[in-house]
Structure 1
Amino acid sequence: MASLVFSCYIIFLVSVTTVQSARQFHVGDHLGWRQPDQNNTAFYTQWAQRNRFQIGDSLVFEYENDSVLSVEKFDYFNCDTNDPITTFTNGKSTFNLDKSGPFYFISGTDDHCSHGQKLLVEVMAPHSIPASPPTTIAVPPEGSSPIMAPSDSPYSSDTVDQATSSSTMVLASSFLSTLVTFGIVMMLGL
């Protein structure tokens, strides 16, 4: 019995700690942080679009003879290096994405930003499943079967499916595992 309780406890711990962990993104992958080729000035824009950034993730910039400036939106679009929020110059810099919304980065080296060495990262807000009103049931005429009336919900089932994040599913799974484990322990204890 002790081994069964211990097994249930292990299952409980695994289910509770199974949440999506933060990821580290190496900016530019193999290219790193440098001025892109003149034929590929949209390189960092395309790199950012291929990735999904969440709160808690971090960006790793690797570079030589350059710098990374975290800047405001205006400075990003105008490649203005005069008033950065943060300046990194050590060759390998990590920036933590601590909130949802946009983060703007440019090179501190003259003309690099205007030649495409700039990065806009959009950090996703935590997802929740949108609440939809309950489906109403039409009263059927006598002698026929009930028919479901269309819902007035602004969300289609596709939208709700898309809004369901993997972390929500993990938390729901953890909750159910916890309930099952608790039920087994209670049954064995009685």
Structure 2
Amino acid sequence: MASYQIFLCLILFSFTQIFLGTCLEFQVGGDSGWVVPKSKNDDQLYNQWASKNRFIIGDTVHFKYKKDSVLVVTQEEYEKCKSSHPLFFSNNGDTVFKFERPGLFYFISGVTGHCERGLQMIIKVLEPALPPQSETENSTTLDSTHKGGAADHMISISSTAIVVLVMTFFGMIFM
């Protein structure tokens, strides 16, 4: 009975990883958090950090700060370091922002003077790897380009799905 429960837990964990495992949370500014850069030479500190990471839909950025705020603004407002109507605003000291679309996101501090001193950042969220296709397009493509057997279609199965299948197979053997 115990092996059956372990098996079910493994299956549930695997399915959770399939659907939730690809998104990440990024800690903005590392251990220092969302703070005004110490020198004028660091005015691009957060943009440099953002350019070293790859963001996708579903990822989140976590801002930790004291006596400050985080605003998501338009490109024009970003360039002016000022916004009277931000797209997003938070000043709770522990802000998590989730990316729900691809494109550019402009972040600034809402505290006067902080943005001008480098507390600003642009993040590019990448387009999905494969654009969704309609069922008609998908079946037409498969019919015209993949006339072989099941082995031809095996390439499209994700590695996570294969792991789940293998775990299921071994779970059935050892039950």
Fold shared, TM-score > 0.5 on shorter chain: yes
SS in 1 for 2:40: coil
CA distance in 1, matches of 2:124, 2:130: 18
CA distance in 2, matches of 1:90, 1:184: 48
Q: 2:158 aligns with which of 164, 172, 179?
A: 172
Q: What letter matches 1:35 in structure 2?
A: V
Q: What letter matches 1:172 in structure 2?
A: S
Per-residue CA deviations over 1:14-46 (Å, capped at 9, x if unaligned) read 654443332111111122111112221110011
Which residue of 2 is the match for residue 158 of structure 1? Answer: none
CA distance in 2, matches of 1:6, 1:93: 38
CA distance in 2, matches of 1:40, 1:172: 42
Q: What letter matches 1:106 in structure 2?
A: I
Higher helix proportion (structure 1 or 2): 2
CA distance in 1, matches of 2:13, 2:42: 45
Contact 1:18-1:170 within 8 A present in 2 as well: no
Which residue of 1 is the match for residue 68 of structure 2? Answer: 66
SS in 1 for 2:42: coil
CA distance in 1, matches of 2:65, 2:168: 52
Correspondence 1:100 to 2:102: yes
Which residue of 1 is the match for residue 32 of structure 2? Answer: 31
Larger Rg: 1
Q: What letter matches 1:59 in structure 2?
A: V
Q: 1:49 aligns with which of 31, 48, 51?
A: 51
CA distance in 2, matches of 1:47, 1:116: 13
Q: Name the % identity.
A: 33
- Seen in structure 2, the aligned counterparts of structure 1 residues 66 and 103 have a Cα distance that, compared at 3 Å, is same
Per-residue CA deviations over 1:146-171 (Å, capped at 9, x if unaligned) read xxxxxxxxxxxxxxxxxxxxxxx995
Give the aligned length.
Answer: 149
Q: 1:128 aligns with which of 130, 133, 136?
A: 130
CA root-mean-square deviation: 3.5
Q: Which runs of 5+ in 1 are unaligned?
A: 135-168, 186-190
- Seen in structure 2, the aligned counterparts of structure 1 residues 8 and 111 have a Cα distance that, compared at 3 Å, is closer
Per-residue CA deviations over 1:77-124 (Å, capped at 9, x if unaligned) read 121222211211111111111111111110111121122110111111
Q: 1:76 aligns with which of 72, 75, 78?
A: 78
Q: What letter matches 1:64 in structure 2?
A: K
Contact 1:9-1:181 within 8 A present in 2 as well: no
- Seen in structure 2, the aligned counterparts of structure 1 residues 111 and 9 have a Cα distance that, compared at 3 Å, is closer
Which residue of 2 is the match for residue 161 of structure 1? Answer: none
SS in 2 for 1:35: coil
